[in-house]
Amino acid sequence: MATDAARTPQHFIRLEDLTREQLDDLLDLAARLKARPTNDALLAKSVGMLFFRGSLRTRVSLEAAMNQLGGRTIELTAASDAWELETREGTVMDGRAPEHVRDAAAVLSTYVDALAVRPAPEGQSWDIDRRDAQISAWAKHARVPVINMDSAQWHPLQALADVMTLRETFKRPAGRKLALVWVHSPRPASVSVAHSLLLAALREGLDVSVAHPAGFDLDEGVLDEARSVANERGTSLEMTGDMESAVRGAHVVYARSWESLADYGNPTLGANRRGRHAEWTVDERRMALGDDARLMHAMPIRRNVEVTDEVLDGPRSLVYEQAANRLHAQKALLSRLLR
Amino acid sequence: MATDAARTPQHFIRLEDLTREQLDDLLDLAARLKARPTNDALLAKSVGMLFFRGSLRTRVSLEAAMNQLGGRTIELTAASDAWELETREGTVMDGRAPEHVRDAAAVLSTYVDALAVRPAPEGQSWDIDRRDAQISAWAKHARVPVINMDSAQWHPLQALADVMTLRETFKRPAGRKLALVWVHSPRPASVSVAHSLLLAALREGLDVSVAHPAGFDLDEGVLDEARSVANERGTSLEMTGDMESAVRGAHVVYARSWESLADYGNPTLGANRRGRHAEWTVDERRMALGDDARLMHAMPIRRNVEVTDEVLDGPRSLVYEQAANRLHAQKALLSRLLR
Amino acid sequence: MATDAARTPQHFIRLEDLTREQLDDLLDLAARLKARPTNDALLAKSVGMLFFRGSLRTRVSLEAAMNQLGGRTIELTAASDAWELETREGTVMDGRAPEHVRDAAAVLSTYVDALAVRPAPEGQSWDIDRRDAQISAWAKHARVPVINMDSAQWHPLQALADVMTLRETFKRPAGRKLALVWVHSPRPASVSVAHSLLLAALREGLDVSVAHPAGFDLDEGVLDEARSVANERGTSLEMTGDMESAVRGAHVVYARSWESLADYGNPTLGANRRGRHAEWTVDERRMALGDDARLMHAMPIRRNVEVTDEVLDGPRSLVYEQAANRLHAQKALLSRLLR
């Protein structure tokens, strides 16, 4: 992962930060690490982890990844209340923030070899949160690679594992059809997984059909970029309000709940809107509309709400493979970013 | 530690999960590790730790154990609020729980090499809590060994260190007398240490006398099993309401506070009952009734309430040795379970 | 680091616990480790960390330090509520404290190779807090080295990095002038950094001028000791109420906010007193009074309140070097204490 300037570290804020060649190389390495899980490539290296929101899969798989390569993670957000950082330049810091992100990032860069950040969007306005200002500030000031552990817009670590899983499952993913289907959940996830998966699948050459009820459109800027990737790659992208039409003929059904950006910052409206679409569940009947379709889901899964037990525990499910690939893909990423 | 089916990992839910041969082998290894504390047997391995209740000794000794063998622990419960797991099968998960234990256990099994669990009993009904349902669910769904870090019924890691300490102290523990004596505490511990110690001591061939005030009987199922072990091993087991009678002639006095199962779920009744037995303290006068008796206690100790300073800081005390053996015995256990 | 008795570990409670020879040896090693950051000198070793107050720089730099030397840190204060320890001898422990510091220290000493402690002063009375009773109790009972991670009186890890930075910056620090200047902050730090720096700078042979507004005198016992060190070393020590007089001719300006010991335990009085001195900021104009003066600060910094952006981001600033040296100096310290 070359960088333009010697001083600028390579960050991993979205999957598209990797060139096609970098992605191929990285997933080849991931496959080799899946076969031979441990080495000492990252001996004595450490990744500082900043969690402004909770995490299970991401945190544990990163900790295990570093450990299996001889390094370790350091949790930076535990046991400190000093995390209300100032981000504005030139301000007189006589308020609550005891430190500027510029100084925190510079100092931490001298202690650890990479910084992994899970920002906490404010949740009031999508126009503001879509800018991913918090992780951008870290990337601007850090002198080591910054890894996005799921921001408002992107979840590139999940997308990396998803692409690895697609490549493992289909010798040639290009030309296959993927249905990205919204599913109901009493507590929906953010749009980040859907955003990253959408761009990644198109870039892999899959035809993508996105199905969701009215009011659950993805970010307009992301859709613009998706259309442009589809054009470039010669794949098709369609949007539909009908899950069954999306699943028909699909080789992969990617189920995901996401919140309504139309209702962003208004939980009551959001809950009302969701409540009208409780029938958006992936079950065997719907899966049967596909072309020997496999199920993907980024977890956690609310069983029998998002996807039925029958599908999850049956032969179509790739969900545990996806989760396992988080570990392998991240080991490859860390090996490249920190070498 | 062979397992019946290739797919079923060997768990460590109670000390009796180990055969006699496995226990002997493991404590031999523990003694060797006490003499030569570090090796790289568990290089790049990790143990995921799930604490649904706080812990000091158990957590630190497990972390140190893994570190001294080249591996590490990963705390799974920190920095996540996603731990209200569903345990019922087939349920429609539209309530609070965001994930099923089946999925959490399956995924974590792909990231770590063992799962150590400290469950949190509900504390309402002993009939329910005695079933240890939480750790059983983890053992059922995990594909790696599950280690019990103190459940409602059992504390096998403590028992393992206790047996190691008995074997170190007495060349042949069999035939010795151990007095397991209830002691007063304003905040009593659970019955788990007493339960595990009782079975372990009988299995080692010691005669056991259990002393406690009325209303502090141990679990009836455990007592049935204890009687059956005593029969099998040809040792004696007696219950008494008189501490001095239990201690008379004993070679080991094991002091432990435990809550009343009769008052389980009713703290006011429990406090009233305890309050009437504040004189149940182990002191020099009582120790002198034994046969050159040694004191054991699983810690933490409320000094001069459970046991007097004089006994604790005198030559009869084995308590620091017991605590130190937690580390050595756990290193042996981890070496065997994770190899 | 020899110890008087074979049984007494060498602690690091204040920088002055090191002899001149030990300090020189340690900083030589720190310089070598800065050039070659990793080795396996502390393979399988661990440092237990007790945080009774939050920490960022200290915690992360210690974790990274251990990792780069093959060992690790173990956080002891997370996930446990059992930290209300009894410190009085001979007491009947029927109150809130579930364990005596004597027992906790003894047991933890068998699990880890050193204990690093950040105590929480009570904050009511300086006469009481100045005694550093909490860390003294740990040092008394631990059987492994105890490292002070910032007590009421001393912050020796910061002073170690500060001396390293002084020696790096000036081939011969002796004979240079250092101005230790109080600066305004809405939430001032404690006096510990100022105390440790004051003694360390004098011991290095620097002339020191301390500037602060009325009511911000440092601890009288520390000042007595400082005068005695100055006499011994033949350096000068002056106190002034005029920042510019202190900075005039200085080669180093060490900026630090600290709370008023006169108002200790009375936040309202403290805030009122501070509020009258908001102009105590280090800016370019004041720096220009020095002799090509360099800026030092222990961080975190409130920009444009304590020090202006212009100074911090300009060529006079040593603050990032100081922060980086925390890591290198601590690696040298740990290498010596734990070997």
Residue C79 main-chain phi, psi, to 5 deg: 55, 25
DSSP for C291-322? SSPEEE--S---BTTTB-HHHHTSTTB-HHHH
The pLDDT, as a whole number, for residue A84 is: 81
Report if residue C124 sits inside a domain.
yes
CA of A29 vs chain C CAs: smallest distance (Å) = 25
Report if residue B54 sits inside a domain.
yes
Chain CA centroid to CA A50, Å: 16
Helix (H, G, I), strand (E, B) or coil at C93: coil
Kind and range of the H or E element at B198?
helix B192-203
Helix (H, G, I), strand (E, B) or coil at A116: strand
Q: Which chains touch C (3 or more CB pairs under 8 A)?
A: A, B
Nearest Cβ partner for B111 among A61, A75, A78: A61
The pLDDT, as a whole number, for residue B82 is: 54
The pLDDT, as a whole number, for residue A339 is: 85
Residues of chain B with pLDDT under 70: 1-7, 78-82
- Are A138 and A58 members of one domain? yes
Report if residue A9 sits inside a domain.
no
Percent of chain C at pLDDT > 90 equals 90
Q: Which residues of C touch B70 (CB under 8 A)?
A: 44
Residues of B with CB under 8 A from a CB of A: 43-44, 46, 48, 71-72, 74, 76, 78-82, 86, 90-95, 98-100, 103-104, 106-108, 110-112
Residue C9 above 80 pLDDT?
yes
The pLDDT, as a whole number, for residue A7 is: 57
CA of C7 vs chain B CAs: smallest distance (Å) = 16
- Of the residues A56, A57, A190, A299, the best mutation for testing chain B's interface (the one with the most B CB atoms within 10 Å of its CB) is A56
Chain CA centroid to CA C325, Å: 13
- Are B172 and B73 members of one domain? no
The pLDDT, as a whole number, for residue B171 is: 87
* Residues C107, B57: C-beta atoms closer than 8 Å: yes
- Are B174 and B319 members of one domain? yes
The pLDDT, as a whole number, for residue C156 is: 98
* Residues B107, A186: C-beta atoms closer than 8 Å: no
Pick from A204-208, C7-11, C73-77: least confident:
C7-11
* Residues B74, A55: C-beta atoms closer than 8 Å: no
Classify residue C252 as exposed, middle or buried by CB count within 10 Å of its CB (0-12, 13-18, 19+): buried
- Are B128 and B189 members of one domain? no
CA of B233 vs chain C CAs: smallest distance (Å) = 34
Distance in angstroms (rounded) separating the CA atoms of residues B142 and B103: 9
E-state strands within C165-308: 177-182, 207-211, 237-240, 252-256, 294-296
CB within 8 Å of C86: residues ≥ 6 apart? B303, C93, C95, C97, C99, C100, C101
pLDDT digits (tens, 9 = 90+) for A26-60: 999 999 999 999 999 999 999 999 988 888 889 99
Radius of gyration of the CA atoms of chain A, in A = 20
pLDDT digits (tens, 9 = 90+) for A284-318: 999 999 999 999 999 999 999 999 999 999 999 99
As given in the structure block, the two tokens for residue B211 are 């002393």
Distance in angstroms (rounded) separating the CA atoms of residues C35 and C25: 16
The residue of chain C with its CA nearest to that of A90 is C309
As given in the structure block, the two tokens for residue B52 are 């649904």
Number of domains in chain A: 2
Report if residue C138 sits inside a domain.
yes
The Cβ of residue A291 has, within 10 Å, a number of other Cβ atoms equal to 12
Residue C2 above 50 pLDDT?
no
Distance in angstroms (rounded) separating the CA atoms of residues A173 and A303: 28
Confidence of residue A6 (pLDDT cuts 50, 70, 90): very low
* Residues B305, C76: C-beta atoms closer than 8 Å: no
Confidence of residue C269 (pLDDT cuts 50, 70, 90): very high
As given in the structure block, the two tokens for residue A167 are 């490549």
Residues of C with CB under 8 A from a CB of B: 43-44, 46, 48, 71-72, 74, 76, 78-82, 86, 90-95, 98-100, 103-104, 106-108, 110-112
Q: Which chains touch A (3 or more CB pairs under 8 A)?
A: B, C
- Are A139 and A203 members of one domain? no
Q: Which residues of C touch B281 (CB under 8 A)?
A: none
- Are A193 and A204 members of one domain? yes
- Using CA of residue B186, residue B187, residue B189, residue B190, what is the dihedral sign? positive
A150-153 LR contacts (CB < 8 Å, sep 24+): A150/A53, A150/A55, A150/A58, A150/A118, A150/A190, A150/A192, A151/A13, A151/A118, A151/A119, A151/A121, A151/A192, A152/A119, A152/A121, A152/A190, A152/A191, A152/A192, A153/A14, A153/A191, A153/A192, A153/A195, A153/A219, A153/A222
Residue C117 above 70 pLDDT?
yes
As given in the structure block, the two tokens for residue C283 are 């800016």
Helix (H, G, I), strand (E, B) or coil at A46: strand
Give me chain A's average pLDDT, please.
94
Distance in angstroms (rounded) separating the CA atoms of residues C330 and C333: 5
Report if residue B202 sits inside a domain.
yes
* Residues A74, C61: C-beta atoms closer than 8 Å: no
Q: Note whether C39 and C70 are within 8 A (CB).
A: yes
CA dihedral A217, A218, A221, A225 (to 10 degrees): -110
pLDDT digits (tens, 9 = 90+) for A74-118: 988 754 555 788 989 999 999 989 999 999 999 999 999 999 999
- What is the ipTM for the molecules in this complex? 0.94
* Residues B46, A63: C-beta atoms closer than 8 Å: yes
Q: Which residues of C touch A103 (CB under 8 A)?
A: 299-301, 303, 319
Residues of A with CB under 8 A from a CB of B: 37-38, 51, 54-57, 59-61, 63-64, 67-70, 72, 75, 77-78, 186-187, 299-305, 309, 319-320, 323-324, 327
Residue with tokens 């899959």, as numbered in its chain: A206
Report if residue C2 sits inside a domain.
no
Helix (H, G, I), strand (E, B) or coil at B197: helix
Helix (H, G, I), strand (E, B) or coil at B129: helix
pLDDT digits (tens, 9 = 90+) for A237-273: 999 999 999 999 999 999 999 999 999 999 999 999 9
- Are A278 and A170 members of one domain? yes
Distance in angstroms (rounded) separating the CA atoms of residues B306 and C218: 45
- Are B188 and B98 members of one domain? no
pLDDT digits (tens, 9 = 90+) for C272-309: 999 999 999 999 999 999 999 999 999 999 999 999 99
- Which CATH number covers residue A31? 3.40.50.1370
Percent of chain A at pLDDT > 70 equals 96
The parent domain of residue B212 ranges over: 157-324
- Of the residues A60, A150, A309, the best mutation for testing chain B's interface (the one with the most B CB atoms within 10 Å of its CB) is A60
The pLDDT, as a whole number, for residue A87 is: 87
- Are B171 and B144 members of one domain? no
Distance in angstroms (rounded) separating the CA atoms of residues B265 and A233: 65
- Are B168 and B144 members of one domain? no
Report if residue C7 sits inside a domain.
no
Report if residue B271 sits inside a domain.
yes
Crossing angle between the packed helical segments A319-337 and A20-35, to the nearest 10 degrees: 110
The pLDDT, as a whole number, for residue C84 is: 81
The residue of chain C with its CA nearest to that of B64 is C111
pLDDT digits (tens, 9 = 90+) for B128-175: 999 999 999 999 999 999 999 999 999 999 999 999 999 999 989 999
- Of the residues B111, B112, B141, the best mutation for testing chain A's interface (the one with the most A CB atoms within 10 Å of its CB) is B111
Nearest Cβ partner for C74 among B37, B63, B319: B63
The Cβ of residue C240 has, within 10 Å, a number of other Cβ atoms equal to 14
In angstroms, the Cα distances linking A8 to A120, A146, B145, B227, C303 are: 25, 11, 44, 71, 25
pTM of the shown model: 0.94
The pLDDT, as a whole number, for residue A56 is: 84
CA of A238 vs chain B CAs: smallest distance (Å) = 30
As given in the structure block, the two tokens for residue A53 are 């929101």
The pLDDT, as a whole number, for residue B278 is: 94
- Are A254 and A162 members of one domain? yes
Distance in angstroms (rounded) separating the CA atoms of residues A134 and A120: 8
The pLDDT, as a whole number, for residue C82 is: 54
* Residues A56, B100: C-beta atoms closer than 8 Å: no
- Are A170 and A312 members of one domain? yes
